[in-house]
């Protein structure tokens, strides 16, 4: 059992729906991430939040909108998605140094939300 | 060139076999290296970090060659429970905690 939880675990939505994915980490970490995992492709980083500030947006379409209200919670708001957005969406967290050093620490993943867009 | 490149496999090996996975990365500024394991329909979990001096954890040995930008993972005495996808992961280099994942190598250990 990891210290990162995600809800819902499965989601089916139409292209005109609006939904939100939720992630919560219970590890006291200061960085949180959204990844997309599609079949036969590597994990794709979508967004990075360090100390609640978004520090990375990996050219993600605006139909995906992240929100980080505090260091323990991360949301991904979905609107007007396309069928090709169907994938496993994984949240992760880590404890990072705030020194600008080029080091990364272990990321702990949640179980993911399997999203199907019809 | 892919940022992190792995042989996707599958590697089908009998129980007790020794198997090695290789990975190359393109960013010479990368400073952190990991092997993650991902079981079918589950999230990735850290298997081990990889250090320049090489490191061992039980049946698992990881090696890093910075000059060749090459990482390896050796599994000895394979168990059925080792069947999974093994992900090579490096950080994006620079002052960033961005991780770059390979596509993974699928290992199937046969009885």
Say which DSSP state B60 is in: E
* HEC per residue, chain A: CCCEEEECCEEEECCCCEEEEEEEECCCCCEEEEEEECCCCCCEEEEEEECCEEEEECCCCCCEEEEEEECCEEEEEEECCCHHHCEEEEEEEECCCCCCCCCCCCCEECCCEEEEEC
Cβ separation B99–A104 shorter than 8 A: yes
Say whether residue A102 is in contact with chain B using an 8 A CB cutoff: yes
B37 to A8, A45, A92, B27: CA distances (angstroms) = 23, 17, 15, 22
Predicted pLDDT at B31: 85
d(CA B86, CA B44): 9
Predicted pLDDT at B107: 97
Closest of B101, B44, B96 to residue A48, by C-alpha = B96
Q: Taking all residues of chain A, what is their mean pLDDT, rounded to a whole number?
A: 89
Q: What average pLDDT does the segment B15-25 reach? A: 96
If you measure CA to CA, which chain B residue comes closest to A89? B43
Say whether residue A50 is in contact with chain B using an 8 A CB cutoff: yes
Alpha-carbon distance B94 to nearest alpha carbon in chain A (angstroms): 5
Q: Which residues of A touch B34 (CB under 8 A)?
A: 106
Residues A23-60: b if buried by 16+ CB within 10 A, e if exposed: bbbeeebbbbbbbbbeeeebbbbbbbbbeeeeebeeeb
Closest of B21, B26, B18 to residue B7, by C-alpha = B21
Predicted pLDDT at A102: 45
Q: What average pLDDT does the segment B37-56 reach? A: 91
B30 to A29, A50, A84, B34: CA distances (angstroms) = 22, 19, 31, 11
Check whether A85 has a pLDDT greater than 80: yes
pLDDT in tens, A37-79: 998 888 999 999 987 788 777 789 999 999 999 999 999 999 9
CB atoms within 10 A of CB A61: 11
Closest of B44, B38, B89, B97 to residue A51, by C-alpha = B97
Percent of chain A with pLDDT over 70: 92
In a mutational test of the A interface, the residue from B36, B97, B103 whose CB has the highest number of chain A CBs within 10 Å is B97
CB atoms within 10 A of CB A77: 13
pLDDT tier, B95 (very low <50, low <70, confident <90, very high otherwise): low
Q: Cis (ω within 30 of 0) for the bond into A65?
A: no
Cβ separation B97–A90 shorter than 8 A: no
Percent of chain B with pLDDT over 70: 97
Cβ separation A45–B98 shorter than 8 A: yes
Place of tokens 């989601």: A11
Q: Which residues of B touch A106 (CB under 8 A)?
A: 34, 46, 49
Coil, strand or helix at B20: strand
Check whether B43 has a pLDDT greater than 80: yes
């Amino acid at each position: 059992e990891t210290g990162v939880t995600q809800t819902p675990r499965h989601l089916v939505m139409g292209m005109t729906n609006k939904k939100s994915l939720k992630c919560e980490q219970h590890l006291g970490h200061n960085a949180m991430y959204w990844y997309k995992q599609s079949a036969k492709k590597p994990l794709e980083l979508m967004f990075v939040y360090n100390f609640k500030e978004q520090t990375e947006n990996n050219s993600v379409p605006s139909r995906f909108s992240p929100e980080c209200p505090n260091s323990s919670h991360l949301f991904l708001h979905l609107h007007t998605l396309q069928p090709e957005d169907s994938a496993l969406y994984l949240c992760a967290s880590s404890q990072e140094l705030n020194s600008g050093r080029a080091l990364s620490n272990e990321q702990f993943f949640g179980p993911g939300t399997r999203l199907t867009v019809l | 060139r892919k940022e992190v490149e792995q042989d996707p496999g599958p590697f089908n090996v009998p129980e007790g076999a020794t198997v090695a996975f290789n990975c190359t990365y393109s960013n010479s500024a990368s400073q952190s290296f990991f092997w993650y394991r991902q079981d079918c329909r589950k999230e990735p979990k850290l298997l081990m970090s990889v250090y320049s001096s090489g490191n061992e954890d039980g049946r698992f040995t990881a090696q890093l060659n910075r000059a060749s930008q090459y990482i390896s993972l050796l599994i000895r005495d394979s168990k059925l429970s080792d069947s999974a996808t093994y992900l090579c992961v490096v950080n994006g280099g620079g002052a960033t905690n961005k991780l770059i994942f390979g596509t993974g190598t699928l290992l199937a250990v046969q009885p």
